[in-house]
Amino acid sequence: MDAWLETAFGPTALERTIAVMAEQTVDPGEAVLHAVRKRLAECDRKLGRYRAALDAGGDPVEVSAWINETKSERARLEGELKAVPAAQRITSEEIRAMMEEVGDLVRLIADADPDDKAELYTKLGLRLIYYPEKKYVEARVEPEPPHVQAVCVRGGSPTGRTCPPVIPIPVHRIPMA
C-alpha cells in the first residue's frame, strides 16, 4: 500500500497526477444543467407535436390542455436552470495544494510506526473496498479539497461555491489470492 501511495502521490508523480486530475475534474452542476436542458428540449419537441396535432384537426380543448401542461413544465424547468450554481471548476493550483498535502502525509506514512499508520491513512482519505467476487481490493485516496470546509449549506461561501467539484482520484487494485 505504501509503495503505491508513493508512486501515485510522491514528488515524481505530482505533475502527472495534477494534470490528469485537472483534466478530468467534473462539476456536479454540469450534469444537472445537461439533464435540465435535455428535459427542456423534450418539452419543445412535445409543443411542436401538439401544434402539429392542432394543425391536423386534433381536438383543440384536449391539445390545449397538453400544451398548457407542457408550458407549465417548461417554466418550472427554466426556473431549475436558473437555480443551478455557476460553473465550479477546481483549479490546478487547488489540486496542487491538495496533492502537496497528500504527499506530506504519504511521506509521513512511509516512515510511521505501524501502530500510527491507521490514523494517517484516515487523514489521507484512504478508502479500501473489497470485491470478493472479483478477488481484489480497490484502494483510492479521497482527500478533501481545500475549499470544502468553506462551503455554506445555504449557498454561498468565501469562494462563491455551493458544492465542491468532483475530483477524479487515482485508483489502485490489489489482487487477492
Residues 111 and 167 in one domain: yes
Whether residue 100 sits in one domain with residue 162: yes
How does pLDDT run along the chain (177 residues), one tens digit per residue?
777 777 776 667 777 777 776 666 666 677 788 889 999 999 999 999 999 999 999 999 999 999 999 999 999 999 988 887 766 666 677 777 777 776 676 777 777 888 888 887 777 778 888 888 888 888 877 766 544 433 333 343 344 444 444 444 556 667 776
Task: Please tell me whether residue 117 adopts helix, strand or coil conformation.
Answer: helix
The domain total for the chain is 2
Decide if 98 contacts 142 (C-beta within 8 A). no
92 and 7 in a single domain? The answer is yes
Asked if 112 and 79 sit in the same domain, the reply is no
Helix axes 60-83, 28-55, angle to 10 degrees: 160
- In whole angstroms, what is the distance from residue 87 CA to residue 97 CA? 21
Separation of CA 59 from chain center:
46
Strand, coil or helix: 45: helix
Whether 116 and 162 share a structural domain: yes
Do 99 and 47 have their domain in common?
no
Domain of 121 in residue numbering reads as 2-25+88-175
